[in-house]
Amino acid sequence: MALERYTKEHEYIRVEGDIGTVGITKHAAEHLGDVVFAELPAVGRHVTQGAGAAVVESVKAASDVFAPASGEVIETNGAIVDTPALVNEDPEGRGWFFRIRLKDKSELDSLMDAAAYAKDAKGSG
């Protein structure tokens, strides 16, 4: 079963083994509005926990997508480049951004579980 963790910036990471799938939460997608563009990191790039790794643009704003954990990008979701609306339609499913091979799984300990995230997201409007 996958382990899911969340950041205060509204990213999620779904971890299976040492691979993490990263995207933005439903809460973030709803607040962004209609997504019109996604810029993904290059495969092979090393990302650092908390640093910008991708960009998502909506009709309202452009936002960085921060890496919830450090690791090497092993795959990106080209479907959201071709069809950015997938991010709105299924942000925590088909609208994922990239996958990383985790460098240090202990970094996940600093992230929120689903219950803590739901409480935090509710408080952030």
Averaged pLDDT of the chain: 95
User: What pLDDT does 125 receive?
Assistant: 54
Domain boundaries, the chain: 3-114
- The model's confidence at residue 91, banded by pLDDT at 50, 70 and 90, is very high
8 Å CB contact between 61 and 87: no
> Can you give the pLDDT at residue 93?
96
Average pLDDT value for residue range 100-111: 97
Candidates 108, 54, 51, 52; CA nearest to 77 is 54
The answer to whether 85 and 32 are in contact (CB under 8 A) is: no
Confirm if 11 and 107 have CB atoms less than 8 A apart: no
Structure tokens at 73: 């990008």
The pLDDT tens digits for 30-56 are: 999 999 999 999 999 999 999 999 999
The region that residue 74 occupies, defined by phi over 0 for left and psi between -120 and 50 for alpha, beta otherwise, is alpha
C-beta separation of 20 from 29 below 8 A: no
> Residue 49 — φ and ψ, nearest 5°?
-50, 130
Q: Are 76 and 100 in contact (CB under 8 A)?
A: no
CATH no. of 3-114: 2.40.50.100
